[in-house]
Structure 1
Amino acid sequence: MRPMTKKNKIAAVAMSAALVAVGGGTAYAYWSTTGAGNGSAVASSGNNTVVLHSTFADGIAPGEIRAVTYTADNSNTSSTVVGSLAASVATSDPTNCLASWFTVDASNTPTTVLAKTTGTTVGTGTLTFTDTAANQDACKTATITVNVTSK
């Protein structure tokens, strides 16, 4: 082996410094790297059907009020939110038992209905049977339905 001359030592140190600088620059570039890209996915929300129900006690008579409970069934594989509710009344005898004799309301705050659940309470309200001067006997045998939708 040959002895190292001063010129060779200086060259070796310079070469080592150059390798460290290049290696350090690579490491610096690795840690400070940035990138860009894109991707996409299709969201599956099941059949998008949430079934809303309304329930109240039987036997309402003119001048009475019944509490109404609104519930939701979610057969989807993901949770959903039921927003504001809107309710209306229908009767099985719309000619003689007028829907206009009834008022109904619905109050709620947006409610999350978990996936694959039934009977989640989403709101409440009241059903009022207004006592009028008209003969309301037809309502004794009529079915009163509270329809509910969500916005």
Structure 2
Amino acid sequence: MSKVAGRKKRIIITTAAMVAIGGGAAFAYWSAVGVGTGAATAGQTVAFKVLSSPATGDALSPGGPIQTVAFTVKNENTGSQNLASVTAKVAKADGTDWVSGTCSAADFTVTSPSIATGQLAAGATASGTVTIQMVNKAANQDDCQGVTVPLYFEAK
């Protein structure tokens, strides 16, 4: 009987040890799901500022001299902006058609601006030029004499 009692003791001790070890390795957790919202405010694009210098060259006349106008584009934003293109045309300061008597934008040709495009850091500028010439039409262009021809620039 002592063999049986010894065996029972070993079984009881082994079982107790396994329960103790197994109990120490047990994990319990709660599962949970959380939701929420957040927001960040992105700045708004600030338009580029375009400033032009007075035209250089001889006075415009039908089919005559070409004048050159230098201009700068400034990034007025607080961050970098991409200057993709600049266009120029004869127009009023708001971009609408310009007319003085019978003289109009159709009496002039403006070349595509010459300027390096790409990223402009905050406050940085890019310089360029554009040329303007009066077209020689087969019609009277007397109303174009002595006028100041406005140029409208658009930087994107």
Which TM-score applies when normalising by structure 1?
0.57
3-state SS in 2 of match to 1:144: coil
Residues 19-98 of structure 1 aligned to structure 2 (within 5 Å): 41-45=40-44, 48-55=46-53, 56-57=55-56, 59-62=59-62, 63-90=64-91, 93-98=99-104
Amino acid in structure 1 at the alignment position of 2:107: W
- Structure 1 runs of 4+ aligned residues shifted over 4 Å read none
1:113 and 1:66 map into 2 onto residues whose CA distance is 28
- Kept in 1, the 8 Å contact 2:47–2:77? The answer is yes
Q: For each residue in 1:24-56, what CA deviation from the matched residue of structure 2 results, as whole angstroms up to 9, or x when unmatched?
A: xxxxxxxxxxxxxxx9743335x5121123342
1:69 and 1:89 map into 2 onto residues whose CA distance is 15
Residues 109-120 of structure 1 aligned to structure 2 (within 5 Å): 109-117=116-124, 120=125
Aligned-CA RMSD value: 2.8
1:70 and 1:83 map into 2 onto residues whose CA distance is 16
Q: Does 1:127 align with 2:126?
A: no
2:152 and 2:49 map into 1 onto residues whose CA distance is 11
Q: Paired residues, what number?
A: 110
**What are the ranges of 5 or more consecutive residues in structure 1 without an aligned counterpart?**
1-38
Q: For each residue in 1:82-112, what CA deviation from the matched residue of structure 2 results, as whole angstroms up to 9, or x when unmatched?
A: 2112221137644321211111122333144
Q: Does 1:146 align with 2:151?
A: yes
Q: Highest CA radius of gyration, 1 or 2?
A: 2
